[in-house]
Structures are given as structure tokens and as C-alpha cells.
């Protein structure tokens, strides 16, 4: 069941506080309360940590992994978004390996460039959604961690 929030943060049906009870497929709240700024901040950092990969080799996986391992017990929202970021980055690593093999048949280079653009765009979208308190699901993701 999803409750509609009033502008002041209370539930229009029963007057409860500023939380939504919409749940995603993992049972985690799809939106966190407005007062849970720390959870939203760390979920955002989980997603943005993937951009470390443009500076440090394998940083696109290590960044979200480190943040997730450090903060997963603090909030179910951070745990969920950390796993989501990690799953997406691991999926992109597999897709990148396949594209690298396809370089020899001249289609791999455009695929590698497309993967780079896709990564940046989806990471930014996920970070914005997490900062708003919404659980984000990346497309084209293999779910290694559930």
C-alpha cells in the first residue's frame, strides 16, 4: 500500500509522519523519510563512488564496495542502494570484457565508448534519485547481491 503525503509531510489518510510505505522488490522502503538525511547521503555516495574508476583501476567496483561495506548496517536504504550500485558496476565490468573482446571485429570500440557514457549517465541519475530518498534500479543489471 502506498500512502499519499501531504505538503507538510503527514499522511493524507491517517496523519502519520513523513514516511512512505512503498516497498521495492527487495522489501526496502522505496522512499525514506525526509529526516533520514544521513541514509540518503551515504546511498548517494555509494552510487557516486563508482566514478572513482576513472582515476583508480577497478575503482568503479572498489568505491561502491568500500562504502557499502562500511555503511550497510546503518540503514536498510544504504544497504539496498549499495548492493544496487555494486551489481551495476560488476555487470558493466562483464559487459566491458565482452566489448574488449569484440574490438578485434571492430565493433568493440564503439561499445566500450557507449558503456562509458551509459555508466556516467546512470550513476548520476541513481545518485540524484538516492539523494531524493528514492530507491533506484539500474537497467541491464545482473543481480549478484540480493
User: Looking at per-residue confidence, does 24 or 143 come out higher?
Assistant: 143
Smallest CA-to-CA distance from 63 within 79, 45, 81 is with 45
pLDDT in tens, 44-79: 999 999 999 999 999 999 999 999 999 999 999 999
pTM of the entire structure?
0.75
Task: Report the SS3 class of residue 134.
Answer: strand
Domain segments of the chain as ranges: 37-131
User: Which CA distances in Å does 67 have to 49, 59, 109, 134?
Assistant: 8, 12, 31, 18
Q: Please provide residue 72's backbone torsions phi and psi, each rounded to the nearest 5 degrees.
A: -65, -30
Q: What is the pLDDT, as a whole number, of residue 106?
A: 85
User: Looking at per-residue confidence, does 25 or 140 come out higher?
Assistant: 140
pLDDT band at 108 (very low <50, low <70, confident <90, very high): confident
Cβ count near 45 (within 10 Å): 22
Alpha helices (H) along the chain: 37-48, 59-71, 76-101, 108-131
CA atoms within 13 A on the CB side of 112: 13
Average pLDDT on 105-121 reads 93
- When mean pLDDT is compared across 14-18, 72-76, 136-140, the lowest value belongs to 14-18
Amino acid at each position: 500500500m502506498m500512502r499519499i503525503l501531504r505538503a507538510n509531510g503527514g499522511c493524507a489518510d491517517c496523519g502519520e509522519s513523513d514516511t512512505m510505505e512503498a516497498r521495492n522488490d527487495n522489501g526496502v522502503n522505496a522512499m525514506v523519510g525526509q529526516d533520514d538525511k544521513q541514509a540518503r547521503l551515504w546511498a548517494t555516495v555509494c552510487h557516486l563512488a563508482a566514478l572513482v574508476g576513472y582515476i583508480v583501476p577497478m575503482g568503479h567496483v572498489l568505491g561502491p564496495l568500500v562504502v557499502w561495506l562500511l555503511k550497510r548496517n546503518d540503514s536498510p536504504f544504504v544497504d539496498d542502494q549499495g548492493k544496487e550500485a555494486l551489481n551495476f558496476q560488476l555487470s558493466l565490468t562483464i559487459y566491458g570484457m565482452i566489448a574488449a573482446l569484440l574490438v578485434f571485429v571492430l565493433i568493440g570500440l564503439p561499445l566500450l565508448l557507449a558503456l562509458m557514457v551509459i555508466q556516467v549517465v546512470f550513476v548520476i541519475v541513481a545518485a540524484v534519485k538516492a539523494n531524493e530518498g528514492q530507491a533506484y534500479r539500474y537497467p541491464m543489471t545482473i543481480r549478484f547481491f540480493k
